[in-house]
Each structure stands twice: as C-alpha cells, then as structure tokens.
Amino acid sequence: MPSEIRVLGFAGSLRRASVNRGLLRVAAGQLPEGMNLDVFDLAPIPLYNGDVESQDGFPEPVVAFREAIRAADALLIVCPEYNYSIPGVLKNAIDWASRGADQPFAGKPVALMGAGGGLGSARSQYHLRQVCVYLDMHPLNKPEVMVPMSGQKFDKDGELTDESVRPKVAALLAALAGWTRQLRGDSRGE
Ligand SMILES: Cc1cc2nc3c(=O)[nH]c(=O)nc-3n(C[C@H](O)[C@H](O)[C@H](O)COP(=O)(O)O)c2cc1C
C-alpha cells in the first residue's frame, strides 16, 4: 500500500473555459494510487502590495493559499504562457505566498505542466522552473507536459478532446508520486 500524497494544484488562468484549468481537471482523473488532489482557485488573491503586507499583513485569500501550500506534500502548477513567460495571475500569487523566512514553498516537490500555442507553454514553464529554484522547491525534471496548439485539443468549455494528452498527465503524476516519496525517504520512491 503506497503512502498517501496530498497534492495542491493551481492554474495560472482565471478564464472559465481555460484550457489550463481543463488540464487540471484532467489531472484529477489520472491520480495514481495513494495520491489525492486539492485545487486552489487563485481568483480571490489581490495584487501584491508591499504597503498592504507591512500595514495589514497577508490578506485572507493569501493566508488560505499559504496554508494550503504548507499542508500539501507536493504541488502541481499549471502554467499558461503569456508573452513568452509566466502569466501575472500566477506570478502574483506565488509572490504573495513567497514572503517571509517561513515561506511555504521551501522543500516542496513540484510538477509543472501547461497548455499554450506553438510550444505548449515551454518558455513560461522554464521561467517558472527558475522561480522554483529561488524558492527552494524541488521541481520534477521529467516528464515534461507541454500541450501545444491547445485550441485544437480542448473544446469551447475547456474540456479535453484530444485523448493523446491524458496519458502524458498520468505519467507526470506517477513521476511526481515517485519523486515525492523519494524526497521524503520512502524506500525506492515507491
Ligand atoms: C496576454 C496574452 C499573451 C499570450 N502570449 C502567449 C505566448 O507567449 N505563447 C503562447 O503559446 N500563447 C500565448 N497566449 C495564448 C495563450 O496561450 C492562450 O490564450 C491560452 O488559451 C491561455 O490559457 P487559458 O486557456 O488557460 O486561459 C497569450 C495570451 C494572452 C492573453
């Protein structure tokens, strides 16, 4: 019986029919044994403002986000690509959560995936990997899940229509399970 892994997933798009949020729903259906997934909606997180932080502390949605990250054994970040980089919605949420010496990202195993245009969010994912390094996370190297031409692979409601994507998400989650167990010292990552 494999040990339990609680994954927190969040996607860097607020669109109702977002293909990246669709990818997160695909993940929910591909979890390996012992893994469960909670999804955090980034919509309530306000824009980062250092004055708010120093005068009032973290806004309530940021507190909730930080606690959810802290409670998770691993993270699954779904990253669209805007202008070759990380969308502001996602970067802003990470920036809020990253504040302070007790920032909750440190030591977390993390898997990245994303859907976009020609390169399937590759450029933004590599920028996000750089952020993961600074925050002392443990990003999973492979497999990479970059879904190109997403407009042809999801329908108008953001539901997956191209069945070639589902096994790639399943492989990513299986690798994340092994990586998480390896990092926490379970025998052979199983
Ligand atoms: C401001 C903006 C910039 C974008 N820049 C890129 C880009 O650099 N590379 C890319 O592949 N797609 C880019 N796109 C297209 C998005 O990948 C596409 O709209 C995608 O569906 C957004 O993800 P979502 O469906 O999860 O909201 C951009 C979209 C917007 C709104």
Q: Output the pTM of the full model.
A: 0.97
* CB 146 near ligand 1, within 6 Å: no
The pLDDT of residue 186: 86
Name which CATH class applies to 5-189: alpha beta
DSSP letter, residue 78:
E
When the pLDDT of each residue in the chain is averaged and rounded to a whole number, the result is 97
pLDDT bucket at 108, cuts 50 / 70 / 90: very high
The pLDDT of residue 188: 54
Q: Ligand 1 test: best mutation among 41, 82, 124, most atoms within 8 Å of CB?
A: 82
The pLDDT of residue 14: 98
- Condensed to tens digits (0 to 9), the pLDDT of residues 19-64 reads 999 999 999 999 999 999 999 999 999 999 999 999 999 999 999 9
CA gap 58, 181 in Å, rounded: 32
Task: With a cut of 80, say whether residue 189 has pLDDT above it.
Answer: no
* CB 125 near ligand 1, within 6 Å: no
CA gap 73, 118 in Å, rounded: 32
Tracing tokens 């997956």 back to the chain, one arrives at: 160
* CB 116 near ligand 1, within 6 Å: yes
Largest CA distance in the chain: 49
Q: What is the mean pLDDT of residues 131-143?
A: 98
| Domain locations in the chain as residue ranges | 5-189
The pLDDT of residue 72: 98
Tokens of residue 22, six digits: 């669709």
The pLDDT of residue 1: 78
Task: Tell how far the Cα of 127 is from the centroid of ligand 1, in angstroms.
Answer: 15
Task: Tell how far the Cα of 53 is from the centroid of ligand 1, in angstroms.
Answer: 30
The pLDDT of residue 165: 98
Helix (H) or strand (E) holding 137: none
Helix (H) or strand (E) holding 11: strand 5-11
Tracing tokens 């190297």 back to the chain, one arrives at: 141
CA gap 181, 85 in Å, rounded: 30
* CB 83 near ligand 1, within 6 Å: yes
Task: With a cut of 70, say whether residue 187 has pLDDT above it.
Answer: no
